Amino acid sequence: MAAMTKWERVRAALAGQEVDRVPAGFWGHDYLREWTPQGLAEATLERLRQYDWDFIKVNPRATYYAEAWGNQHQPSGDVAHGPIMIDYALKAADDLERIAALDVHRGPFGEQIQALRSIAGALGSEVPFVQTVFSPLMVVGLLAGGDLAAVRRHMREDGEALHRALSAVSETLAAYARACLDAGAGGIFFATVDWGTYDNATKEQYEEFGRPYDLPVLAAVAEAKLNVLHVCRKNNMLESLLDYPVHVFNWAAEQSGNPSLADILKKTDKAVMGGVAVPTMRGGTPERVAAEVAEALAQTEGRRFLLAAGCSIPPLTPEANLRAALAALPAVPVKCRRQTKPTKPTKPTKPTKPTKPTKPTKPTKATKATKKD
């Protein structure tokens, strides 16, 4: 078959159609340059030109969401280490009341939009790219200085105030996600990060404090062409989130308690993204990288599959391993076989309504105007 463009290759893979080659893309932080819009755009484009990936996941500093609501961070000055926290905003229950909806065209969010415009201006329609957006619950966790126990205490003791704070964050992120599309992104990379694992939350806790605030963000970009749900950590909640309205799921399939690529393909009609373990990319050999690519191709038969790592790769990942991943993909057409009907619904289920004295403020619907992941 004729060679595809990058967008054609990605669209065909998402739809389970024949592709000339499985699309591939890897992402990671540039801790020295991610502090300015220009630096982030330059680092992103440089990585693309170096490896010729089929899609880009923009990898901004993970702290920018929390900075918008008052956290203070500074660069580590070390290529291998992320931002250093100086202060955080959510120290007590009363601080929840100070979390209000923000103007996403100002401050850290505005800087990110500026970077996306630069990336889009350089790429045109050549390469699909998505912007990272953390879940509202993850943002609140960052505002608490990463103290997940404190957030769980707010769930138990300050539920009404926590719901109002999550509503404000969700409203902001919905507007921001929409603004990312307006700036040229093809979609968002929506990441649950700390909270998408049963190690940190129960299913009931996520149904009350996660799902109702995730879905409005995704609804704001429903018309996007490439929305990704990234579910972090081992023992993850991916199988309970398969009804989220996205195009593709990304997770570390090799981690304990997590489903395999083949498991998820049987349960959804969406695509899967991953296949190579982050530790393999950082410390393995090119031969080991190629072996994991081969295993991923065997599990997926190369359909509804985008090759990537299960999360962001470290800055010092060897170039040889990155090149080995792409070289391991066969340059022959991958045909779509007949797909079996998924065993789980893909339509979002109605979230469980939280029980509390007063009804929390609901996120307003976004208008069409506007840690490591």
DSSP 201-260: --HHHHHHHTHHHHHHHHHTTTT-S--EEE--SSSB-GGGSTTSS-SEEE--TTSTTPPP
Q: Is residue 281, in this structure, part of any structural domain at all?
A: yes
Please indicate, yes or no, if residue 372 is contained in any of the structural domains: no
Q: Are 134 and 312 in contact (CB under 8 A)?
A: no
d(Cα 145, Cα 71) in Å, to the nearest integer?
A: 8
Tell the residue number behind the tokens 């170039």, with chain if given: 319
The sign of the torsion formed by the CA atoms of 31, 33, 38, 42 equals negative
pLDDT value for 349: 53
The pLDDT of residue 25 is 98
Q: What is the mean pLDDT of residues 246-257?
A: 98
Least Cα distance to 303 among 271, 264, 340, 342 occurs for: 271
When mean pLDDT is compared across 37-46, 179-188, 326-335, the lowest value belongs to: 326-335
Q: What is the pLDDT of residues 195-241, one digit of tens each?
A: 999 999 999 999 999 999 999 999 999 999 999 999 999 999 999 99
Q: Is residue 28 part of a domain?
A: yes
- The residue range of the domain holding 280 is 6-327
- DSSP characters over 283-302: HS-HHHHHHHHHHHHHHHTT
* Beta-bridge mates of residue 334: 19
pLDDT over 90 percentage in the chain: 88
For residue 160, give the 3-state DSSP assignment. Answer: helix
Work out the angle between the directed axes of helices 107-123 and 159-182 (0-180°, nearest 10).
30
Answer yes or no: is pLDDT of 367 > 50: no
Asked whether the beta carbons of 248 and 230 are under 8 A apart, the reply is: no
**Residue 110 belongs to a domain:** yes
DSSP-assigned states of every residue in 175-195: HHHHHHHHTT-SEEEEE-GGG
The fraction of the chain above a pLDDT of 70, given in percent, is 88
Report d(CA 196, CA 173) in Å as an integer: 18
User: In the chain, at which residue ranges do the beta strands (DSSP E only) sit?
Assistant: 56-58, 72-74, 84-87, 129-134, 187-191, 228-230, 248-250, 271-276, 305-309
Using DSSP bridges, classify how beta strands 271-276 and 129-134 pair: parallel, antiparallel or unpaired.
Answer: unpaired
Give phi and psi for 166, each to the nearest 5: -65, -35
Answer yes or no: is pLDDT of 337 > 90: no
Does residue 369 sit within a domain? no
pLDDT band at 334 (very low <50, low <70, confident <90, very high): low
Asked, for residue 337, whether it belongs to a domain, the answer is no
Provide the pLDDT confidence category of residue 343 given band limits of 50, 70 and 90: very low
Does residue 130 sit in helix, strand or coil? strand
**pLDDT class of 80 with cuts at 50, 70, 90:** very high
pLDDT of residue 142: 98
Q: Which sign does the torsion angle of CA 294, 299, 304, 306 carry?
A: negative
Of 196, 253, 219, which Cα lies nearest the Cα of 347? 219
Q: What is the mean pLDDT of residues 166-193?
A: 98
Number of domains in the chain: 1
With a cut of 50, say whether residue 342 has pLDDT above it.
no
- Please determine, for residue 373, whether its predicted confidence score (pLDDT) is greater than 70: no
- Rounded Cα gap, residues 197 and 311, in angstroms: 14
Identify the band that residue 355 occupies on the pLDDT scale cut at 50, 70 and 90: very low
68 versus 355: which is more confidently predicted? 68
Pairing of strands 84-87, 72-74: antiparallel
Tell me the mean pLDDT in the region 305-328: 98
- pLDDT tier, 362 (very low <50, low <70, confident <90, very high otherwise): very low
Q: Residue 228 falls within a domain, yes or no?
A: yes
Task: Compute the distance between CA of residue 264 and CA of residue 261 in angstroms, rounded to an integer.
Answer: 5
For residues 86 and 124, what is the distance between their CA atoms, to the nearest angstrom?
A: 38
Of residues 82, 132, 134, the one with CA closest to residue 315: 82
Mean pLDDT of 352-364: 46
| Predicted confidence (pLDDT) at residue 148 exceeds the cutoff of 80 | yes
Mean pLDDT, the chain, as a whole number? 92
- Looking from the CA of 105 toward its CB, the CA atoms found within 13 Å total 6
Query: How is residue 127 written in tokens?
Result: 């390469």
pLDDT band at 2 (very low <50, low <70, confident <90, very high): confident
What pLDDT band is residue 1 in, cutting at 50, 70 and 90?
A: confident
The C-alpha angle 264, 236, 139, rounded to 5 degrees, equals: 120
Is 339 inside a domain boundary? no
Query: Which pLDDT band, with edges at 50, 70 and 90, does 103 fall under?
Result: very high
**Which CATH number belongs to the domain containing residue 48 in this structure?**
3.20.20.210
